[in-house]
Amino acid sequence: NAGVTQTPKFQVLKTGQSMTLQCAQDMNHEYMSWYRQDPGMGLRLIHYSVGAGITDQGEVPNGYNVSRSTTEDFPLRLLSAAPSQTSVYFCASTGTGIPGTDTQYFGPGTRLTVL
Amino acid sequence: QKEVEQDPGPLSVPEGAIVSLNCTYSNSAFQYFMWYRQYSRKGPELLMYTYSSGNKEDGRFTAQVDKSSKYISLFIRDSQPSDSATYLCAMRAKAAGNKLTFGGGTRVLVKP
Classify B96 as helix, strand or coil.
Answer: helix
- How many residues belong to chain A? 115
Reply yes or no on whether the pLDDT at B7 is more than 70.
yes
pLDDT tens-digit map of A81-114 = 999 999 999 999 987 665 555 678 999 999 999 9
List the single residue in A50, A100, A109 with the smallest CB-CB distance to B43. Answer: A109
pLDDT at residue A2, as a whole number: 72
Average confidence score pLDDT of chain B: 93
> Best of B100, B101, B106 to disrupt the A interface by mutation (most A CBs within 10 Å)?
B100
pLDDT at residue A100, as a whole number: 53
List the single residue in A31, A41, A106 with the smallest CB-CB distance to B98. Answer: A31
Per-residue confidence band for B53, with pLDDT thresholds at 50, 70 and 90: confident
Per-residue confidence band for A1, with pLDDT thresholds at 50, 70 and 90: low
Least confident residue range of A83-87, A103-107, B39-43, B103-107: A103-107
User: Are A104 and B46 inside 8 Å of each other by CB?
Assistant: yes
Per-residue confidence band for B2, with pLDDT thresholds at 50, 70 and 90: confident
Interface of A with B (CB under 8 A): 4, 31, 33, 35, 40-45, 48, 50, 58, 90, 92, 94, 96, 99-100, 102-104, 106-109
The residue ranking higher by pLDDT, B99 or A65, is A65
Shortest CA distance from A91: residue in chain B: B43
Phi-psi region of B78 (alpha: psi -120 to 50; beta: other; left: phi over 0): left
> Which residues lie closer than 8 Å to B82 by C-beta, 6 or more apart?
B110
* Per-window interface: B 40-99 vs A, CB < 8 A: 41-46, 49, 51, 88, 90, 97-99
Are B89 and B35 in contact by the 8 Å Cβ rule? The answer is yes
Q: Which residues of B touch A48 (CB under 8 A)?
A: 98-99
pLDDT at residue A96, as a whole number: 64
pLDDT at residue B96, as a whole number: 73
pLDDT at residue A113, as a whole number: 97
A3/A26 Cα distance (integer angstroms): 6
pLDDT at residue B52, as a whole number: 80
Q: Which residues of B touch A30 (CB under 8 A)?
A: none
User: Are B51 and A100 inside 8 Å of each other by CB?
Assistant: yes
Count of Cβ atoms closer than 10 Å to residue B71 Cβ: 13
